[in-house]
Amino acid sequence: MMTGLSEFFQYNLWANLRLLDACAELSDAQLDATMPGTFGSVRETLMHLFSSEEGYTYSFTKTRPTSPLKEVSTFVGFAELRRRAEASGTMLIQAVEQRDLSETFYLDGGTYECQAYIVALQAINHGIDHRSQIATILSQQGIELPDLDAWGYNDSLRANA
């Protein structure tokens, strides 16, 4: 079996969707909770996570959704976040499978230069970081998320084989 960077993005999509499914079951008070050292509330962190993922997708495709999350000031709901996570996650998988990751990107209006693989690395790191922050906020409330790590992903792959 040939493996590559796309497997990291398949994992990222799986973890994002699993996180959304778990968070959809939470109360408003649980979703509005925050703690020092995290991005913000669970809701704010989810919006930021998927807004950023749309931005990483834009770096590769130069296309944005009609109403990018970064321009939305209210929580869009779990069905919409799931739809967007599936779209951006799938586009990132395709991008790392099809693009030359040594290509130079000029981001932030051309003021920041990096190779495409840096954007890919940032997308993976960013997702793990914010999923962990949400897990921390929820664990402080006595709420345990399902496994979102590589072991949980492996178990899911094996169960679906």
Pick out the residues of the known binding site for a divalent metal cation.
Answer: 48, 126, 130
Can you read off the two tokens belonging to residue 109? 């209006």
β-sheet bridge partners, residue 107: 112
Helices then strands, each counted (H, E), the chain? 6, 2
At residue 130's C-alpha, the angle toward residues 125 and 134, to 5°, is: 150
Would you list which residues are annotated within the binding site? 48, 126, 130
Do the Cβ atoms of 86 and 18 come closer than 8 Å? Answer: no
